[in-house]
Amino acid sequence: MTKNEVLKSWVEQYSGPLLKRAAYLLSDKVEAEDIVQDVFLAAISSYDSFEGKSQPLTWLTAILNRKAADFYRKKYKSDPEIKLDHFFDETGSWKNDGVLNDWNVSEKESELLDNKDFNKTFEECIEDLPSRWKIPLKMYYLQEKKATEVSQELKISATNLWKILQRCRMQLRECLDSNWFTHL
């Protein structure tokens, strides 16, 4: 097969799995489609470096992961505004101390990750986070990158990362409290 035939075959075979992975990483269908297109463009330009030591999907997924990291790095740097007035008043005191209380999760609720409606609500809560919070959250929890790796890629300190993740968890908890647990 010629190079063009191989690449055409890859587009036909691997567009679906790559699009699914990209949508998971980016939570935006249009951005996911763009990134997958970028993956194939990168694959075309670096095809000669593919040695066949791994499966083509593995190689393309590695390119996709790098493209997603680049996407988040660019997006993280371009959106500098984060407001904490959602949690704190002008004196720095908590507006609602309820976010500090433990959840009483019953056995039924412990199976929430199998519940499609809960997952939809949870994903909506994640999407409502400020992008400067959402990006590290997705990199750390969804892409399962190490804290040092996330800090390096986003050029933030480890302390800043942990604070951002803590704020994400608090806001996610409040969102789930008001959009899921109050409706049970």
> What is the tens place of the pLDDT at every residue in 53-89?
889 999 999 999 889 888 877 776 655 555 556 556 6
Q: What pLDDT, on the 0 to 100 scale, is given for residue 119?
A: 86
Q: How confident is the model at residue 13 (pLDDT cuts 50, 70, 90)?
A: very high
Q: What pLDDT, on the 0 to 100 scale, is given for residue 81?
A: 53
CB–CB of 164/129 below 8 Å?
A: no
Q: What pLDDT, on the 0 to 100 scale, is given for residue 17?
A: 93
Distance CA 178, CA 84 (A): 18
Q: How confident is the model at residue 143 (pLDDT cuts 50, 70, 90)?
A: confident
Instruction: Give the whole-number percent of the chain exceeding pLDDT 90.
Output: 20
DSSP letters spanning 25-63? HHS-HHHHHHHHHHHHHHHHHTGGG--SSS-HHHHHHHH
Q: How confident is the model at residue 183 (pLDDT cuts 50, 70, 90)?
A: low
Q: Does pLDDT of 158 surpass 50?
A: yes
Minimum mean pLDDT range among 136-140, 150-154, 173-177:
173-177
Across the chain, mean pLDDT equals 81
Mean local confidence (pLDDT), 88-106? 59
CB–CB of 67/39 below 8 Å?
A: yes
How many other C-beta atoms are found inside a 10 Å radius of the C-beta of residue 135?
A: 24
Q: Does pLDDT of 127 surpass 90?
A: no
Q: How confident is the model at residue 148 (pLDDT cuts 50, 70, 90)?
A: very high
Distance CA 108, CA 112 (A): 8
